[in-house]
Structure 1
Amino acid sequence: MLTEDGKHLYVSYDEYHNLCEKLAIRIHQSGWQFDTILCLARGGMRPGDILSRIFDKPLAIMSTSSYRADAGTIQGHLDIARYITTPKGEIAGKVLLVDDLADSGKTLHAVIDMLRNNYQPISELRSAVIWTKGLSTFQPDYSVEFLPTNPWIHQPFEGYDGMGAHKLLEKWKI
């Protein structure tokens, strides 16, 4: 649900899963065949997992981090992992890069540059996200929703940010 002022988008679990399914349909309808899904942790892990299951393709993971301060709401320095975790040894062939959103575009630009320069076995690289914000300098190959007002997206699992185990103990009275 987008707030009236267009500054916040609240997404339920059902909406989130529906958007992941719509992303899968867009990819399928393109006719593009790929060998591996590479998701960017953390935001791309959930859609990457869903797409991996739908397309029955191996899921590789690359860790990136820039939203750390203030429970993940302030973008800082971008860190990109030096290694990719993959069940097939080395990532190669046609790769679908998955993240949750193209926000500023900084992360996706940097990761694609790094992959093209350092992973020669990748023969083709395309990108997929759920949301693309209007201010993004990156245009993914596949996206479900374009958000021209650049709202802050409140994803359903963000309640765990800053929660800590002590709050779970309180919740479950353990």
Structure 2
Amino acid sequence: MNQPPSTDSDLWVSWDDYNRLIERLALQVYESGWKFDVILCLARGGVRVGDVLSRIFDVPLGILATSSYREAAGTKQGNLDIARFITITRGAPQGKVLLADDMVDSGLTFAKVCEHLRSEFPAITEMRSAVLWWKGHSKVTPDYYVDKLPNNPWIHQPFEDYDSLRPHQLDSWIRKGSKG
């Protein structure tokens, strides 16, 4: 599918681009030499990032649901909600934790999540963050990132097509995709 060209205000990302970004992030973490015990991803944006990193590094994956972009069709940040529990297959997060997400935008989510994790999970001894994109207006600096975006563009990620797709539209969506 053809995408519009990226500009200072809009960054368009294909599935191939998205997958290469995750691979570059994994390489950066690997080359740092830092060893960690678990990856904790922030849902929803960080789920794909965390899943791939968990597979590459062969460490457990935990998922913490957060939500703040609900207003104006998901384009305006509102109040942050952090889930009460973390989904993880082996107990609770402990030791060295790599916190993964797709981006650090304002930094509000990362700052509050880190505060939450430190207070609720004292067995976490060290925490570092890894993201694909770090926006220039962020108040938080990630430990690992692939691209710094000083102009703070809106990032159009490939899975956003599903935000407006509803079950009753699937048949025509699939037929359209098989033709193109």
Name the residue aligned to 1:90: 92
Which whole-Å deviations, capped at 9, do the CAs of 1:1-49 have from their partners, x for residues lacking one? 8634x00000000000000000001100110000000000000000000
Q: CA deviation at 1:70?
A: 3.0
Q: Secondary structure at 1:63's aligned position in 2?
A: strand
Name the residue aligned to 1:3: 6
Whichever residue aligns with residue 75 of structure 2, its letter is T
Cα separation, 1, equivalents of 2:97 and 2:41: 10
Q: CA deviation at 1:172?
A: 3.8
Name the residue aligned to 2:48: 46
Name the residue aligned to 2:167: 165
TM-score under structure 2 length normalisation: 0.92
Whichever residue aligns with residue 73 of structure 1, its letter is T
Name the residue aligned to 2:120: 118
Contact 1:91-1:121 within 8 A present in 2 as well: yes
Q: 1:76 to 1:33 in 2, by over 3 A?
A: same
Which whole-Å deviations, capped at 9, do the CAs of 1:45-68 have from their partners, x for residues lacking one? 000000000000100000000011
Which whole-Å deviations, capped at 9, do the CAs of 1:102-145 have from their partners, x for residues lacking one? 00000000000111111101011110000000000010000000
Name the residue aligned to 2:71: 69
Mean Cα displacement is larger for which, 52-61 or 62-71? 62-71
Structure 2: gaps (5+ residues): 176-180
Residue among 87, 92, 99 paired with 2:101:
99
Which whole-Å deviations, capped at 9, do the CAs of 1:68-120 have from their partners, x for residues lacking one? 12332111110000111110011111000000000000000000011111110
Whichever residue aligns with residue 140 of structure 1, its letter is P
Q: Secondary structure at 2:172's aligned position in 1?
A: helix
- Runs of 4+ in structure 1 deviating by more than 2 angstroms, as ranges, are 1-4, 169-173
Superposition RMSD in Å: 1.2
Cα separation, 2, equivalents of 1:77 and 1:164: 26
Whichever residue aligns with residue 26 of structure 2, its letter is A
Cα separation, 2, equivalents of 1:24 and 1:69: 32
Structure 1: gaps (5+ residues): none
Name the residue aligned to 2:178: none
Residue among 29, 50, 75 paired with 2:31:
29
Contact 1:34-1:94 within 8 A present in 2 as well: yes
Cα separation, 2, equivalents of 1:19 and 1:128: 11
Cα separation, 2, equivalents of 1:27 and 1:46: 16
Whichever residue aligns with residue 123 of structure 1, its letter is T
